[in-house]
């Protein structure tokens, strides 16, 4: 009896493993820098890499200090942006080739650049000259990459939802604005289909909610809030409805299979005193639910099981933006403290295993 108990105790091992928790989550953020109090890029990159599960980062330029800071960092891919002011010049091949040699080629060996975003919300500028040079600039940059033997970088351009016509409800009747549809979007989508690059959109339920639809905008309800009268499909959140309206517009031209990337979306954690639906709890709900939703693999009612690479706006609060709400889209303060918890910090999980 005694002997067997000793043997029993001998073989009763408790193994405690402390393993870094690596979620299967894909989390992208926009690393905007309209601020005068942000830490230097190498500290930011070190923070992202060691403390968070963020694995896609988008920047609004080709800041060389940021690109150098990402040098040698594996597991995080980068999207860089051509400023709107460079688009016209880049529609000439010689300029596109020198832009590439000056800004990206020096970093390519060690920095994992995935996409070049040509401008930001160019169609929303209503600047005809800029808009007509957008696709030519995307084409010449693609050719310049090809001539430099770079095949892994894809070219795209992010659009605001202002590209859709006002009558884009229900989601199944989404269409591009009149005048821009055949002339602008059909050839842009053809470019994406040819080059296998994604269509980038910036959906913001924050700009679309009303007093009745706050919980629908925040993914805070499982109730069917909206039924598309044409498809009879049920919508429980506004994000899905916005993406499906974009998809319907694309599908109208036969490009329903082109990938969609959510280049920006977010919710401010503070605003003007008279703003409703703005605050810590709302921002935490939107961004937390968003990350879970896009990682669930559920897709949307019109795009079941599709996964959308999604970039939250934004990494930091940016104190030089023009309004209180715009200054407060950040997940983090400049000193790296989380503004609220959305489950993207790396945590150590304790696994206890009993072996008899």
Torsion of CA 95, 101, 102, 106, to 10 degrees: 170
The whole-angstrom separation of Cα 58 and Cα 32 is 8
Residue nearest ligand NAG (C-beta atom): 254
Active-site annotation holds for 264: yes
By CB under 6 A, what part of segment 109-128 binds ligand NAG? none
Task: Single out the residue of 123, 184, 188, 233 in contact with ligand NAG (rule: CB under 6 A).
Answer: 233
- Encoded tokens for 245: 């309206």
Tell me the per-residue interface mask from 248 to 267 with ligand NAG, x by CB under 6 A, - otherwise: ------xx------------
354: contact with ligand NAG by CB under 6 A? no
Nearest to 68 by CA among 94, 32, 40: 40
Contacts with ligand NAG by CB under 6 A: the residue count is 12
Reported for 109-113, long-range contacts at CB under 8 A and 24+ positions apart, including other chains, are 110/71, 110/72, 111/67, 111/68, 111/70, 111/71, 111/72, 111/73, 111/78, 112/70, 112/73, 112/74, 112/76, 112/77, 112/78, 113/67, 113/77, 113/78, 113/79, 113/80, 113/153
224: contact with ligand NAG by CB under 6 A? yes
Stretch touching ligand NAG by CB under 6 A, among 115-123, 212-220, 231-239, 311-319: 231-239
Active-site annotation holds for 272: no
SS3 352: strand
- Encoded tokens for 28: 């992208």
CB of 4 to ligand NAG, least distance (A): 60
Identity of the residue, 55 or 142, whose beta carbon is nearer to ligand NAG in the bound complex? 142
Identity of the residue, 74 or 274, whose beta carbon is nearer to ligand NAG in the bound complex? 274
Of the residues 139, 169, 212, 264, which is catalytic? 264
96: contact with ligand NAG by CB under 6 A? no
Task: Single out the residue of 211, 272, 322, 355 in contact with ligand NAG (rule: CB under 6 A).
Answer: 272
Identity of the residue, 20 or 254, whose beta carbon is nearer to ligand NAG in the bound complex? 254
Length of the chain: 356
Identity of the residue, 23 or 324, whose beta carbon is nearer to ligand NAG in the bound complex? 324
CA distances from 326 to 6, 158, 186, 289 (A): 66, 19, 33, 21
Of the residues 121, 139, 309, 318, which is catalytic? 121
212: contact with ligand NAG by CB under 6 A? no
234: contact with ligand NAG by CB under 6 A? yes
The whole-angstrom separation of Cα 231 and Cα 173 is 10
Task: Single out the residue of 71, 193, 215, 325 in contact with ligand NAG (rule: CB under 6 A).
Answer: 193
Stretch touching ligand NAG by CB under 6 A, among 82-90, 109-117, 228-236, 292-300: 228-236
Task: Single out the residue of 36, 151, 211, 232 in contact with ligand NAG (rule: CB under 6 A).
Answer: 232
SS3 79: strand
Stretch touching ligand NAG by CB under 6 A, among 36-44, 87-95, 162-170, 230-238: 230-238
CA distances from 348 to 17, 25, 52 (A): 10, 16, 12
- Encoded tokens for 290: 């968003």
230: contact with ligand NAG by CB under 6 A? no
Map 152-221 to HEC letters.
Answer: CCEEECEEEHHHECCCCCCHHHCCECCCCHHHHHHHHHHHHHHHCCCEEEECCHHHCCCCCCHHHHCCCC
By CB under 6 A, what part of segment 132-151 binds ligand NAG? 148-149
Active site residues: 121, 264
Which residues sit at the interface with ligand NAG, rule CB under 6 A? 148-149, 190, 193, 224, 232-234, 254-255, 272, 274
């Amino acid at each position: 009896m005694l002997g067997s108990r000793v043997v029993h105790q001998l073989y009763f091992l408790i193994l405690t493993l402390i393993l870094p928790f690596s979620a299967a989550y894909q989390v992208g953020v926009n690393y905007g820098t309209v601020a005068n109090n942000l830490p230097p890029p190498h500290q930011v990159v070190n923070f992202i890499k060691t403390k968070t599960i963020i694995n896609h980062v988008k920047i609004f330029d080709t800041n060389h200090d940021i690109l150098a800071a990402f040098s040698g960092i594996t597991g995080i891919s980068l999207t860089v942006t051509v400023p709107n002011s460079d688009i016209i010049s880049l529609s000439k091949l010689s300029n596109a080739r020198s832009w590439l040699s000056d800004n990206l080629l020096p970093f390519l060996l060690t920095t994992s650049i995935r996409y070049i975003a040509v401008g930001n919300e160019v169609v929303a500028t209503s600047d005809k000259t800029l808009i007509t040079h957008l696709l030519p600039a995307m084409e010449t940059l693609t050719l310049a990459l090809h001539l430099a033997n770079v095949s892994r970088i894809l070219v795209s351009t992010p659009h605001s939802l202002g590209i859709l016509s006002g009558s884009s409800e229900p989601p199944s009747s989404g269409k591009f604005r009149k005048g821009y549809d055949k002339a602008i979007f059909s050839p842009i989508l053809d470019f994406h289909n040819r080059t296998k690059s994604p269509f980038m959109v910036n959906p913001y339920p924050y700009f679309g909610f009303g007093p009745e639809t706050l919980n629908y905008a925040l993914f805070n309800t499982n109730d069917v809030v909206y039924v598309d009268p044409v498809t009879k499909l049920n919508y429980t959140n506004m994000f899905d409805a916005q993406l499906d309206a974009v998809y319907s517009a694309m599908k109208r031209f036969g490009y329903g299979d082109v990938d969609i990337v959510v280049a920006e979306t977010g919710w401010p954690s503070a605003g003007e005193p008279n703003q409703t639906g703005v605050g810590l709890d709302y921002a935490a709900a939107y961004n937390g639910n968003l990350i879970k939703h896009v990682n669930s693999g559920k897709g949307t009612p019109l795009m079941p099981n599709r996964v959308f690479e999604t970039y939250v706006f934004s990494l930091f609060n940016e104190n030089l933006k023009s309004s209180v709400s715009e200054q407060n889209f950040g997940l983090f303060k400049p000193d790296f403290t989380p503004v609220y918890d959305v489950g993207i910090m790396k945590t150590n999980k304790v696994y206890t295993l009993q072996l008899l």
